[in-house]
Structures are given as C-alpha cells and as structure tokens.
Amino acid sequence: MSNSSMTPAEIFEYKQRWKPGYTVRLHSDVVDKGKTFAKRNCQQHQWSVTTWTNVYEHTFHFEFEESARKFKIAMGEYADQ
C-alpha cells in the first residue's frame, strides 16, 4: 500500500489494524535519531512511536518484522535495553 494516496485519517486507520506490530523500545536520548531512521527507511503508514512508555523510554512500532530488525540494529545499544 502506498501512502501517497492516503489521507491522514486513512493512515491512522491503517496503523490501527496492524499495531502493536513489531516493537522496539528505544532510550529517550536518541528518539530523534530513531524518528529520522524510521522516516528514511519506512513509509509513513508502516511505523509509529509511542512516547514515554517507561522511564527514559519510547516504543517504536513497525508493520514489518524486517523493518523492526533493521531499526534495532541501527540503534545499537540504545534499543531494547
């Protein structure tokens, strides 16, 4: 599915169907790095972030397992601590 023809409401509804998907917890110090990676490597409807899911932690959600795996590798020691 391509998000170029999806409205914001359609993107939201699409994400609701696959969430929580594949999750990766990320240290809050590198959340901007995580968002940049996700924006560059996934389409808008294929990822999401839930902020402050624990102390110093945000949780990234991915539609596809491969995307979560690549994200975790890229974030290194800051992922899934």
Residue found by looking up tokens 């590798």 in the block = 73
In this prediction, residue 1 has a pLDDT band, given cuts at 50, 70 and 90, of low
DSSP conformational letter for 56: T
Per-domain residue ranges of the chain: 20-78
pLDDT at 36: 98
pLDDT of 12-46, one tens digit each?
999 999 999 999 999 999 999 999 999 999 999 99
pLDDT at 9: 95
Nearest to 71 by CA among 44, 29, 50, 40: 40
Nearest to 79 by CA among 62, 50, 65, 58: 58
pLDDT at 64: 98
Q: Are 58 and 51 in contact (CB under 8 A)?
A: yes
Q: What is the mean pLDDT of the chain?
A: 94
Radius of gyration of the chain, Cα coordinates, nearest whole angstrom:
12
